[in-house]
Amino acid sequence: MYAYLRSAGVSLLLDTTGPHLPRVLHWGRDLGELDDHAVAELVRASVRPVTSSSPDSGVLLSVLPEQSAGWFGTPGVTGHRDGRAFSTAFRVTSVDVHDTAPVVADTPVHLTSPDGAAPLAGAVTVSAADDAAGLALTWRLELAVGGLVRTRTTVTSTREGSFAVGGVDALLPLPREATEILDFTGRHMRERSPQRHPLVAGLHLRETRRARTLDGTLLMLAGEAGFAHRHGQVWGTHVAWSGNTRTLVEREMPEGLATLGGGELLLAGEVRLANGERYESPWVYFSYGDGLDALSARFHDFLRSRPTHPQTPRKALINVWEAVYFDHRLDRLTALADAAARVGLERYVLDDGWFRHRRTDTAGLGDWYVDETVWPDGLTPLVDHVTGLGLEFGLWFEPEMVNPDSDLARAHPEWILRVPDRMPLEYRRQQVLDLTVPQAWQYVLERMDAILSEYAISFVKWDFNRDLLDAGRQATGTAGVHEQTLATYRLLAALRVAHPDVEFESCSSGGGRADLGILALTDRIWASDCIDPLERQMIEAGTGLLVPPELMGSHVASPHSHTTGRRHDLGFRAATALFGHLGVEWDLTTASETELDELARWVAAYREHRHLLHRGRVVRADDPDPALRVHGVVAHDGGEAIFAIVQRTTGVSSPSGRVRLPGLVAGRAYRVTPLPPGDTIVSPGPLWQPAWWAEGVTLSGRVLAEVGVQAPLQHPEHSVLLHVVAV
């Protein structure tokens, strides 16, 4: 029996014959229609000979590889029963293949995932058991309509005693053509820094043990040598989990077989299954594309197809953190609201500092009551002022954390996530609240619910500012990251049910929690605490491979960046923020009238074009000049596009030459003009403008993609915008 799933230029052929776990015969470029005979011939053409010094029956590389099947690379399921059952040998008991339902009235009736996440082109569910180890598993693979693949595994103990789960890694094979790896590293305020290297024999493993990915990789990518945005086959994986994770690429020798995948990283003894108990892995996503843009588009299409995806226009906001920090005074905050309304912003977010004892970041976390000494009348005067201006009101929380200097920590030291005999090292004078303690979980739910019920709050900035270091559970003495992550998900889900009209942002010292697990419960992520637009060009390029623009918070920073010390003009800051969910992080009461007028034009441009920016296909040009970045968004019907030409630094040549505008319909004609207010070239004079600049130019989509248009001369750290409209 074989399962052949196809959609959106991707096909996956799964061999489910025999008793062993399924084997992937092909995952990648669509193979077209295959009948049973063609599949049988492909299988026969793929049988590997048995070489010297290898198992006599050959190696079976399954979706959960097993050493019992001759695989010496990373296994799919690890664990033991007091040292026994250390190696599995699962035998399949049932296979269910679910194809897209027949066409009804010329429209295919798509399947739906059990969690309702997105429409599916097909799915496979496999049940298997290892009676000797006392284990059963269910493995499910889904192919979304947009071509994205995801898998999840459930392992159940079927025997008395305890089975300690070591890990469950979902792995798919890579073809021989995948010879280069791209993944990402980073730190606080410099997330998503790319790194490339050859795919050689052995294991390339990235583990995140912080329950955050400031230094981790959201995507692990492997492809043909030199793959880029617009060319080169590339395969990638993402683990949709907000705790500890591992992603890997491995070429096992001597067979030379390569795999790509990952799963949750479980700490020692973290998951132990009694008879009848089960462990459910996170979803592990796999995407294929001819170029990074195609791979990225499958993630974007999947996220946009979810019923929970934000459907209303993404409101331009101001967040007051960098304007006031902890200096909460009603007159200052209302003046900020007045300035925000003056430039056309639509939402106002009060950040850290509004609750009891919170005059610095050393105290008060966990005391979720409005501070009576700062707000004697509660938040009502500020909320009323903000909403009276026509703006929505948002509020900052850090629900999972607690300061030792807080009423909560003094009253309930047993609610701190720690091993019984020591306290974890402090981060930012913080410890972690153990949400696996029912009373602690209920306390946070009740306090947040009370605040959200009392005030007209439409947006919550949910922060998470420290790593889960030495994270034990006092009640059991065992590691607690897995259960803490599940408890956080339950808390978010409960608040969403109680307050369905409130949007939630996932913030974690910036971009430390930006995975698809948290995005199943939130409406956007904060990409980084660094708002320097030059740094954001790199940060958002990496983050945007996974996250579409409407889910990525990107703010217009103040003229002087407090994180890097750089100064940038407003055009560069705003043009960078335009390609995300736009906000402002700037004390507008210090801005001049000229600056406020210019910012108002940028906010108006965002509001006018966000239907395209937040629904179109993201494209990036493979420009040969590392000093330039050319990127944009193209409407799905090809009728309109917006591009940015970003001069990141000085180029070796000047002028840079023609820049290509990819992603347009080859046979259509397009009018290319500068897009106000991003049409200003910061230069000594008009000679820096290319000849076509003043009146625009009309060219075909093919010519724009293959030849391009002359870029203007720009100073480094500036950008211009182009509006491309079909004629």
Residues labelled catalytic: 463, 529
Tokens of 268: 């020692």
Number of alpha carbons in the 13 Å side-chain half-sphere of residue 133? 27
Asked whether 229 and 293 are in contact (CB, 8 A), the reply is: yes
Q: In 3D, which of 223, 273, 271, 267 has the Cα closest to residue 245?
A: 267
Asked whether 340 and 318 are in contact (CB, 8 A), the reply is: yes
Question: Cα(303)–Cα(283) distance, rounded to whole angstroms?
Answer: 14
Handedness of CA 587, 589, 592, 597 (dihedral sign): positive
Number of alpha carbons in the 13 Å side-chain half-sphere of residue 554? 32
Cis peptide before 413 (omega within 30 of 0): no
Residue with tokens 């739906």: 112
Residue 674 parent element (H or E)? strand 669-674
Cis peptide before 254 (omega within 30 of 0): yes
Handedness of CA 700, 705, 707, 712 (dihedral sign): positive
Q: In 3D, which of 397, 318, 364, 235 has the Cα closest to residue 585?
A: 318
- Plot region of 375 (φ>0 → left; ψ -120 to 50 → alpha; else → beta): beta
The alpha-carbon radius of gyration of the chain (Å, integer) is 27
List CB contacts of 335: < 8 A, sequence separation 6 or more.
Answer: 589
- Plot region of 663 (φ>0 → left; ψ -120 to 50 → alpha; else → beta): left
Q: In 3D, which of 584, 544, 557, 564 has the Cα closest to residue 318?
A: 584
Number of H helices, E strands in the chain: 13, 41
Question: Cα(190)–Cα(201) distance, rounded to whole angstroms?
Answer: 30
Q: In 3D, which of 563, 455, 553, 462 has the Cα closest to residue 507?
A: 462
List CB contacts of 341: < 8 A, sequence separation 6 or more.
Answer: 389, 390, 391
Question: Cα(474)–Cα(480) distance, rounded to whole angstroms?
Answer: 9
